Every structure is written in structure tokens, then in C-alpha cells.
Amino acid sequence: MIPISILDYSPIFEGSNVREALLHTEELAQLADTLGFKRYWVAEHHHVFSVAGSTPEMLMMQLAAKTDRIRLGSGGIMLPHYSPYKVAENFRMLEAFHPNRIDLGIGRSPGFPMVNRALNEERGHRVSFDQQVKDLYKYLTDDLQEDHRFSELIATPQVDTMPEIWLLGRGGRSSRVAADLGASYAFAHFAPSSKANGRDITDDYRQRFKASSVQKHPYVMAAVFVVIANTEEEAETLAQTFDLWVLAVETEDQPPYMPSVETVVERGFTQKEVERIQENRDRVVIGTPEQVKEGLNTLAQKDNADELLVIPQFYGENNRKQALELLADVWF
């Protein structure tokens, strides 16, 4: 079996609160650590009221201190909002405390227009995303490039190891940046309205890949939502909490929580919503442990992936813990 990892949005469940959501993420990371999952990544979402994950670096520091083996990562840092120099310093600090356990996943989604404006107000000189990633490589490798505009600048603290660098995306631009710089690539199979052919993108990445000082071979991870339960019926019931959450969070009428099973049953869905749900089901693998295992293996082959990143985005602390246990039982 190929390696499998977790991406957690830190959902705030109906009837719960932000602190409880973050403590649940901590518990889930500890469980994933003991079960044998390779990585535990946390997200950066701004102005999304139903999830608590907005500052992955800070959450990673907490999770790394509470786990023993598992790699901790960002899924991802939205680099256009930030200074590559400051990102390098943040992740060098993480690496200093937890050597060989830190992943730096980089994205470029601008998010909501208001969020983009708030995060970038008062910023002066802007550089391209491609240049930002190159800058980040410079700072993390202590490369004193003579032709760089900050040629003698060093990111501190200086450490003997460095985070793994990943480019996240669902189109050709991020994959080409990853290939040109010699970084790993995570294909966002879960992304909304993604008509891109994952195999075409990952094959192009592999063909373009240029070995770098930190990575010699291409490496692909495919990311997808999952809903796992003991029976098909239970999985389908839980999947409807995911369905309603996606419908709500991808509109302007955001809920302040991940809806409960009871709320979904009471509310129901309109015919138009049912049609949208069927489209969204391409972004999620649902079923019993064996069914999900089969679906994930099919996805890995389809996207030509070396590793899988699953997102257990559905209602209930105990339901999510059980899902990880059920998946581990059939995977490892």
C-alpha cells in the first residue's frame, strides 16, 4: 500500500465551539500518530466560520509538541499573502524544534476578495508567485545567489535540516513551478469545479521535473475528501453533513458550524441542491473501510500518485476518530 496522510480543516461542529474544535484536531493528530499515518496537515482558511484552521504554523507547533513521530504540515500557506522571508523564518523555527518532521505546503489561492485586500493592505513592492517560491527556496537552503536582490540575506534560525517543500494546486501552473524547482506536488482532487485531468497534470509534472539540491525525484500526493463508517448506510448519512456543509460554505450564506446529522435530516435538500451534490460527490470517497480503500487505490492510479492525503470533513468527533481507525485497519 502507498503511504496515506491526513489533512484536517478543524471543523467546528454544531453545538461545539472553536476551542473544542482545535482540541479535537489535537486529539485526532495524536490518534493518527499512533495509527501509522505518514503526515498530518492543517489548513489555512480565512473568513470561513465553520472551520478553526486559519494559522497553520501556530497549530503545527502545538501538534508537533503533542505527537511523537508523524510529520506535521501546512495544507497550505497561501504564499501570495506573505513575505517568503518571514515564512522561511517561521518554518525554520518549527524545524529547529522538530527536525525532519515539518512539511511546508504552499498554495496561491487568493481567497475571498475582502480577505485578499485585508491581508495585503499597505504592501508595497509585489513579486510573482513563481519568484516568491524561488525566494523561499533561497532562504531555506542558504543559497547566497549573487544575482538575487537580497543576495546576502539569511533566514534565521539557521538549522541543519529543512522542511519538505510542497506545491499545492489543481492546475498546470503550480505543478510546473514544483517541477522547475524540484519540489513535491500535491494535486487537489477535492477542489471545487476542477475539470482538470489529474493524470495529465501529474504526468506533465513528472516529465518536467528537475532534480534540485533538496529533492532528486518527482513525488505526487493526491488529496481528496473521505467519509468512512462501518456500513454503507452510516457512511451515506454522515456524507450528507459533508454535502450540506459544502453547499453552504461555497456560497455567501456561510454557516457558523459543520451541521449535525439531525439538522440535515430535518432540513432536507431541494432538487437543485441534489443535482449540485451529485456533482460534488466526485470530490469525495464514501463508504465502508473496504469501499474507501478500493476507491482511494483507484484514485491513486487515476492521478498517478505516490501518496494519498485524505480529508475527513464530516460531523462528529467520535465519527472522525472511528473513521481514522477503520481506515488504518484496512490500510496498514
pLDDT value at position 65?
A: 97
pLDDT value at position 252?
A: 65
pLDDT value at position 22?
A: 98
244 touches 332 (CB < 8 A):
no
Work out the widest C-alpha separation in the chain, in whole angstroms: 65
Q: Alpha-carbon distance 201 to 218, whole Å?
A: 13
Long-range CB pairs of 137-145, under 8 A, 24+ apart, other chains included: 137/165, 137/181, 137/212, 137/214, 139/84, 139/85, 139/88, 139/89, 140/88, 140/91, 140/92, 140/104, 140/165, 141/213, 141/214
Question: In this predicted model, what pLDDT tens digit does every residue of 118-133 receive, in sequence order?
Answer: 666 666 667 888 999 9
User: For the whole model, what pTM was predicted?
Assistant: 0.94
Q: Alpha-carbon distance 114 to 69, whole Å?
A: 38
pLDDT value at position 91?
A: 98
The set of cell numbers assigned to 121 is 493592505
pLDDT value at position 121?
A: 65
Q: Please list, in sequence order, all residues whose beta carbon lies within 8 angstroms of the beta carbon of residue 107, skipping any fewer than 6 positions away.
A: 44, 75, 76, 77, 78, 79, 168, 169, 174
pLDDT value at position 269?
A: 95
* Residue with grid cell 492546475, as numbered in its chain: 171
Stretches where the chain sits below pLDDT 70 are 110-125, 193-196, 252
